[in-house]
Structure 1
Amino acid sequence: MTMDAITVEQLRVFVTIAEQGSFAAAARHLNRTQSAVTYTVQKLEGQTGVPLFDRDQYRPSLTEAGRSLLPHARKVIGDIADYRLHADRLRQGLEADLRIVVSQFVSPDLYVDVLKRFELTFPSVRLDLATITVQSTAALDQGQADLSLMPEFFPMGNSYVRRHCGVSKIIVVAAAVHPLVQVAVPLTNDIMSRHMQIMLVSREASSLKQNHAQHADNCWRVDDLETKRRLILGGVGWGSMPDHLVAGALRDGTMAVLEPAEWDGSDRLPQLPIVAAHRRDRPPGPAGQWLFEEFSRGGEPIE
């Protein structure tokens, strides 16, 4: 006999004997006769080429080879169980993988815990998470993503199923050493316009107006919030940021909050609605639908 003929059932008997402590206890646990259990493990030992149990004592004990091979047997049994579970879920329509795009405007607080629960609930589903800067439906439209988490700056239209799942609070900040930090508040547009503004622009289609929230004649444009944060922190200029991206710098005192007198014609800074979205004509499978519901738990559908 060769090891090619070893079966999962033989490995299960081997593991059960080791765990139950005797052939008789293993037979009871497996609801089989003791002679059948004995025969099965003897056959496995013959195929393996080494004894797995020392039978010289009252109770069988694992040989050195048995102790070495036991974790491998357990792994094979576990892998087979995972294989069967994955195959069953695929037959039920479960996705093999799921692709998500998440905007930098979305705080990790809105999705990290959900993804932890997702991994426990759907361990066989691979997750591909990509980052976008602002609002962009391109990945959904081109079939490169199944779900998106992003701010809805502008109405997305009826091609998408959307639900509110939170907000992104925008604040205006500068490095702690920036001259604007020393000016009495509230800061008028005239005062702020004298200092370099760091602005975010989108290279991802036309999802953000190029002059959106421009308050200074002299401004630099970047297409990434991390680059913007670093320039502001370095004292190059001031700018608006999602609060979660600058919370650490505010805590350690390297950044400070500025208080504009008005912002884009309003007396307050915006709180951007964050939505979970998917294409209406490409609804996600069971795992994607679970994730969509969990992202937007308690959120209202958007018509």
Structure 2
Amino acid sequence: MDTQALAAFLEVADTASFSKAAERLFLSQPAVSKRIATLEAQLGRSLFDRVGRQVTLTDAGRALLPYARRALADIEDGRRALSQLSEKVEGRLSIGTSHHIGLHRLPPVLRAYTLAYPDVDLDIQFMDSEVACEAVLAGKLELGIVTLPTQPLAHLQSRLVWPDPLSVVVAPAHPLAGLKKPELADLAEHPAVLPDEATYTHRIVTAALTRHGLTPRIRLATNYLETLKMLVMIGLGWSVLPRSMLDQDLIALPIRELALERELGVVWHEKRTLSSAALALLDQLPAP
């Protein structure tokens, strides 16, 4: 059974779409369809029902799914285990990271890493931290360099790399910027622009505000912190951003009741073997 066909099967099953699976695999849609057709011919079973634009697993597809995941995970574990037998650090290393970490934290780490290990083929995928953690658990990524989950996830190991203190911020012309001693109650009187509710950062911020009895009036939410910064700068509302993003275009409000911080770090699957390339990157990451 072709592992490439199994990989295509898993992507179609996960995305419920041949076109989205093709995008993830960097293939054309006909190529993905051909791999699925080959697999169905080998098994003598139809794996997907295709009704209009909807793609759903058949009974045979649902039965195959856990075995396909296990088979590809075992093959990948074998590849990583074999890489540790060589003194040379090489091969492919798949990493998922957020745009913010990729822009503001990783460049010096990856610059030093690629100089030290030029034979490693880095596959860096940018995505939300929550998606990266799920991809590590599913075996699609070896490491995630992400905002660490607010609650432990089963089988996901993590290590803190960068403490990331947060500040409530506004534009210099915002009414809150003129207050000498802004308080939480003042925030409730003005709209906010915050990270999307599905993100770990949103959960950290709203949990802290809820503890003080404040429900923010959210005007707009987005996954990208750089976009949030722009929205604050044009006066659309207050927000909570990493202190590392502060500059002359933002005013940090000294609200004594709030001490906000998130943790940035690395995650991996506790039951999967790490390749020599992954172990070398873990060593390269700074201590907090």
Under a length normalisation based on structure 2, what TM-score does the superposition of the two structures give? Answer: 0.60
Unaligned segments of structure 1, at least 5 residues: 1-87, 264-268
Q: CA deviation at 1:159?
A: 0.8
Question: What does residue 140 of structure 1 align with?
Answer: 136
1:174–1:112 CA distance, 2 compared to 1 (3 A): same
Offset from partner CA, 1:135-168 (integer Å, 9 cap, x none): 4411212222111112224233451232221211
RMSD: 3.0
Q: CA deviation at 1:105?
A: 5.4
CA contact (8 A) 1:147 1:292 kept: no
CA contact (8 A) 1:197 1:215 kept: no
Question: What does residue 151 of structure 1 align with?
Answer: 147
**Alignment partner of 1:279 out of 239, 255, 269:** 269
1:221 and 1:160 map into 2 onto residues whose CA distance is: 28
2:111 and 2:188 map into 1 onto residues whose CA distance is: 44
Unaligned segments of structure 2, at least 5 residues: 1-81
1:113–1:167 CA distance, 2 compared to 1 (3 A): same
Q: CA deviation at 1:183?
A: 1.2
Offset from partner CA, 1:212-242 (integer Å, 9 cap, x none): 4464335322222122111111110011001
Question: What does residue 282 of structure 2 align with?
Answer: 292
Question: What does residue 249 of structure 2 align with?
Answer: 254
Q: Aligned letter for 1:256?
A: I
Secondary structure in 2 matching 1:191: helix
Question: What does residue 28 of structure 2 align with?
Answer: none
**Alignment partner of 2:195 out of 181, 200, 205:** 200
Question: What does residue 233 of structure 1 align with?
Answer: 233
Question: What does residue 41 of structure 2 align with?
Answer: none
Offset from partner CA, 1:93-141 (integer Å, 9 cap, x none): 8552211122345485643222122112221222122233444411212
1:95 and 1:196 map into 2 onto residues whose CA distance is: 50
Offset from partner CA, 1:195-220 (integer Å, 9 cap, x none): 1111112446x885495446433532
Question: What does residue 221 of structure 1 align with?
Answer: 221
Secondary structure in 1 matching 2:163: strand
1:73-112 equivalence runs, <5 A:
92=86, 95-104=90-99, 106=101, 110-112=105-107
CA contact (8 A) 2:148 2:266 kept: no
Aligned residue-pair number: 199
More helix by share: 2
Secondary structure in 2 matching 1:144: coil
Secondary structure in 2 matching 1:227: helix
1:271–1:286 CA distance, 2 compared to 1 (3 A): same
Q: CA deviation at 1:194?
A: 0.9
1:42-57 equivalence runs, <5 A:
none
